[in-house]
A and B are shown apart, each in its own frame.
Chain A
Amino acid sequence: MADSVDPALTSSSASASVPAQPASTIANPPSQQTQNLPIRESKSAKSPAPSDNQSSKNKDASKPAAAFSDAAAAAGTDKPLTPAELKKKAKAEKAARRAKEKLAKEAGGAGAAGGSAPGAIQSRPPATPKKDAAGGASQKGQKAAQPRRGSAPTGQTAADEPTKKEDKSVAVFGHLYGQPRRTTIAGAGKEVHSAVLALGLQLRDYVVCGSSARCVATLLAFKRVIESYTTPLGTSLSRHLTTHLSHQITYLSTCRPLSISQGNAIRALKLAIASVDPSTPELSAKATLCEFIDNFIREKITVADQVIAQSAAQKVQNGDVIVTFAGSSIVKQTLLTAHKQGKRFRVSIIDSRPLFEGKNLARALANAGLDVQYSLVHGISHAIKDATKVFLGAHAMTSNGRLYSRVGTALVAMSAKERAGGVEVPVIVCCETVKFTDRVALDSIVVNEIADADELVSAQPLQQVTGLVDPEAPTKPDNKKGGKGASSAPKPDPSASLNPSPSPLSNWKDNRNLQLLNIMYDVTPAEYVDMVVTEMGSLPPSAVPIVHRMSTNL
């Protein structure tokens, strides 16, 4: 099994360095510290195609934003407005917006009202009438008019774009489409530190991915913020630094919603800042805070991971077949620890699109000499057939004992528990207590994260070598993708697999009645989890709130 996997992996690793490049050039990373992080480079698992896509998108998307700031500047310099005038202007804008809304409503949701709506009141000028990736990026995630819902469309509706009006957000998850993710650093506040700016883009592009890695990276960036911070005159460090940090935090959360672990770490840091004695000299206060961050990372993540790996590895026995989902760093550490202890077992990795986090895990484990089987989530029933244990990573554990993790985790846990005609397979979750939250999750709809739906669109990566056809065959541009297209199309197109042709979904935004949903997480019910391994010991999921209470009170 492992053998059949290897070629695909090596090819993916070969292409890995390519896509990572553009991302980092955009990010223009001023920071070296991220290199030492336990980062799961999910980016490297991606195909070159989507990242190229992204880079061009980023470049183009910077245009409207720049134009926007220009316009704002122009408006500012036109005439100094008095407060009364400002108020008047705001009122007029509001009225105009209402009128436009009405029009849009009359036009019946499909809303061809663009032309008639007064474009002048748009806060954002129609910089890109052309329908390209940039247009898509700026539209995506916009809270466009949705006739059924009462929520008022903002002034930024794509009303001025005559091409399409349809709301591309999936209705059930409508509340999750907040503001679109930031695409550039343009428009970020001047208070935002360069390390944080870079980190924001890395988070956004999944260069820094995974709950713990994001937490560590955030803390390290904040450490640099604190190091370069000087208290302005007239305030005290404990008061001003908190607001200074919250600028950074706001910026980070516009790049990608913060993870639970980030939230917990930030809360702890803010508490530490608040408890700094105002009479302490600034230098020593900063040193204390930096030390606090280092200790936090060491205690809550680095050492915690070691402890968890040690105790979870005890549960691995000779002859086990261990199923895991996607690429959790702590599960990787656990399996490697067990392997080092001389235990003989097989690992079956279940992975899923679009992040393919399991590929790195598969490669790391295979390199370490483990027997690895890799399959995508549609092969779950096959993979679970001879499983003896399931190890899962976590994004968070909620107070009702539920596991909040990468979408697909619930499916794996459920398959293990409800395996037909077999003994049930124990499901073990490895999770640091910093990921515990006092929130409660009943389903994966209320709280979740929606990623860019375009990630789902990208054509199959080129790693598929098996489906290649005779390169001599006549080129026929069709929209089939990868090997699948090649096998199903009567006249397969070699260029489809050589240089990826646009996938059938590439212009899904123009396609009415078509919505794409790229959800990030799901919730696994507590009954599907047997055991949670934390640095404070192994617990049943019902003990999560108790441990959370204890670890936050300490």
Chain B
Amino acid sequence: MATTTERTAAAGSKPFDIVATYNELLRSDPDITMPIAAIEALVHVLTHSPSSTISETLDLLEKSTAHLKQSIPNPIGLSAGTDLFQRYLITTLQRPGQLGPAGDFKAIRTHLLSNGRLFIRRAKESRQKIAAFGRGFIRDGCTVLTNGGSRAVASLLQKAADEEGGPSAVRFRVIYVLSSISQNIEEPSGQPEGMETVRALRAKGVPVSTIPESAVAYALGKADMVIVGAEGVVENGGIVSRMGTYQIGLLAKAIGKPFYVVAESHKFVRLFPLGQYDLPIEQHVVDFKSADDIAEDKKKKQHSSGDASGNKPIELPLSDSVDFTPPHLISALITDSGVLTPSAVSEELIKIWF
């Protein structure tokens, strides 16, 4: 994150910096998701720049989107939001009537902005909706295995826990898979992702067990279902998610446990990866090195400690790396537009886009 802010500072001639806004939004509001932050940033762009024609607006939007996508190491989640917003703008502008191309542009603009905000508010509420849909999946006496720091999963589990106001109406247990990577790189002293949810659940009286990723296969026998979050839901119904989700999916399939994905429908991305290595991001998870390479790397690091960021493409740190879980491993997707099978995702996407 430090590098990105530096970059944008260097390009500081711009009156309004979308990347900084985006990052600031993500930092300030722990509940906000990447696509929503992107949309909010775009709305900010529109409010700050006095565009007077439709094509100017669209052009500005396109430029800022491209800029934003380039400056963020993993633009998958974000692009869901920007695409959606762009699509929304275009359909609004095409609609006949006062707000159509014939209408007064100022009216259109204010309408767009207010609707954009409305959209953001609704998207934030979608997590509650998901929790309502998904509550039925968690039954008395069941054990749920989950991973990562998905807020949608957290809100679903918490909703199930404080059902009917009473202390833990549904009696269920949670096996929480804690990532070992994020622990030691990003925040050496900090807690692993998801620890907050664990604490919150425990406070609500839900028994939680935390296991490392290596124990998933061992622990899966005790679980009744797997519920995970997603960073993006792609067109064939697969998900792009925190590294390690794919292997949980494979294991769940092998053991025969249902594998549910919780995702807001604004996370649906128009992207069709054919496999793990077909994602539009740079991540060097598998990095072959010999002893010489390591030595060379060390030398380079010492050498270039002064000028931090060159013109290299931004790489994803290992802790933020993602993998792709193909649709045949997923039993169902719990979204705010209902519980969908993976093949229904493409239908939803087509509905949005055509």
Tell me which residues across on chain A come within 8 A of B149, comparing CB atoms: none
Indicate whether A536 reaches chain B with its CB closer than 8 angstroms.
yes
Contacts of A547 in B (CB 8 A): 350
Give bound CA distance, A70 to B147, whole Å.
83
Contact string against B for A residues 460-479, beta-carbon threshold 8 Å, 1 for contact and 0 otherwise: 00000000000000000000
- Do A543 and B272 form a contact, CB below 8 Å, given A537-B235, A537-B353, A538-B235? no
B343 within 8 A of A: yes
A465 to B347, CA, bound (A): 54
Is A542's beta carbon under 8 Å from chain B? yes
Q: Is the interface of A mostly helix, strand, loop or mixed?
A: mixed
A542 x B235 contact (CB < 8 A): no
- Tell yes or no: A539 within 8 A of B by CB: yes
**B74 adjacent to chain A (CB < 8 Å):** no
CA distance A230 to B272 in the complex (A): 51
The A-B contact count (CB < 8 A) is: 42
Interface of chain A residues 529 through 554 with chain B (CB within 8 A): 530-531, 536-540, 542-543, 546-547, 550
Interface residues on B, range: 10 to 19
Cβ-closest chain A residue relative to B346: A543
Q: With A530-B274, A531-B236 in contact, is A540–B343 under 8 Å at CB? A: yes
Interface presence of A315 (CB below 8 A): yes
Report how far A539 CA is from B354 CA in the complex, Å. 14
Q: How far is the CB of A63 from chain B (nearest CB, A)?
A: 56
| CB-contacts of B179-196 with A (<8 A) | none
Q: Are B350 and A540 in contact (CB under 8 A)?
A: no
What chain A residues lie within 8 Å of B275 (beta carbons)? 423, 426
B237 within 8 A of A: yes
User: Contacts A536-B354, A540-B235 given: A531-B272 contact, CB under 8 Å?
Assistant: yes
In the complex, which of the residues B235, B270, B347 contacts A546, with contact meaning CB atoms closer than 8 Å? B347
Q: Is the CB of B350 within 8 A of A550?
A: yes
A428 contacts across to B, CB distance below 8 A = 274
With contacts A537-B235, A538-B235 taken as known, whether A543 is within 8 angstroms of B350 at the C-beta atoms is: yes
Question: Is there contact, CB below 8 Å, between A543 and B274?
Answer: no
Known: A531-B236, A540-B237. A546 touches B350 (CB 8 A): yes
List of B residues within 8 angstroms of A546 by Cβ: 346-347, 350
Determine how close the nearest CB of chain B comes to the CB of A331; give it in whole angstroms. 16
Residue of B nearest to A533 (CB): B272
| A315–B273 CA distance with the chains assembled, in angstroms | 9
Would B346 and A540 count as touching, CB distance under 8 A? yes
Is A542 in contact with B343, judged by CB distance below 8 angstroms?
A: yes
Complex contacts, B347 vs chain A, CB 8 Å: 543, 546
Closest partner residue, chain B, to A538 (CB atom): B272
> B73 in the interface, Cβ–Cβ < 8 Å?
no
Give Cα distance in the complex from A550 to B327, angstroms.
23
A315 to B270, CA, bound (A): 14
Once the chains are docked, how many angstroms separate the CA of A538 from the CA of B346?
9
Chain B residues contacting A426 (CB-CB under 8 Å) are: 274-275
Nearest-neighbour CB distance to chain A for B324, whole angstroms, equals 12
Chain B, Cβ-Cβ closest to A428: B274
Q: Which chain A residues border B235 with CB–CB below 8 Å?
A: 537-540
Nearest A residue to B238, CB-CB: A540
Give the shortest distance, in Å, between B113 (CB) and chain A (any CB).
29
Of the residues B236, B270, B354, contact of A540 by C-beta under 8 Å: B236
Residue of A whose beta carbon sits closest to that of B354: A550
Q: Give which listed residue, B274, B278, B350, contacts A537 with CB less than 8 A.
A: B350
Q: Which among A423, A536, A546 has the highest number of chain B CB atoms within 10 Å? A: A546
Residue among B278, B327, B350, B353 facing the most chain A CB atoms (10 A cut-off): B350
Distance from B275 Cβ to chain A, minimum over Cβ atoms (Å)? 6
- Docked complex Cα distance between A389 and B272 (Å): 15
* Cα–Cα, bound, A540→B274 (Å): 11
Given A531-B236, A542-B343, A543-B343, are A536 and B350 also a contact pair (CB < 8 Å)?
Answer: yes
Chain A residue, CB-CB nearest to B236: A540
Closest beta carbon of chain A to B273's beta carbon, Å:
10
A530 to B343, CA, bound (A): 12
Query: Once the chains are docked, how many angstroms separate the CA of A540 from the CA of B343?
Result: 7
Inter-chain contacts of A536 with B (CB < 8 A): 350, 354
* Residue in B closest to A540 when the chains form the complex, CB atoms: B236
Which residues of B does A touch, CB under 8 Å?
A: 235-237, 270, 272, 274-275, 278, 327, 343, 346-347, 350, 353-354
14 A-B pairs whose Cβ atoms sit less than 8 Å apart in the complex: A389-B274, A426-B274, A531-B272, A531-B274, A539-B235, A539-B346, A540-B235, A540-B327, A542-B343, A543-B343, A543-B346, A543-B347, A546-B347, A550-B354
Contacts A530-B274, A531-B272, A550-B350 known; list 6 others, CB within 8 Å. Answer: A315-B278, A537-B235, A539-B350, A543-B343, A543-B346, A546-B347
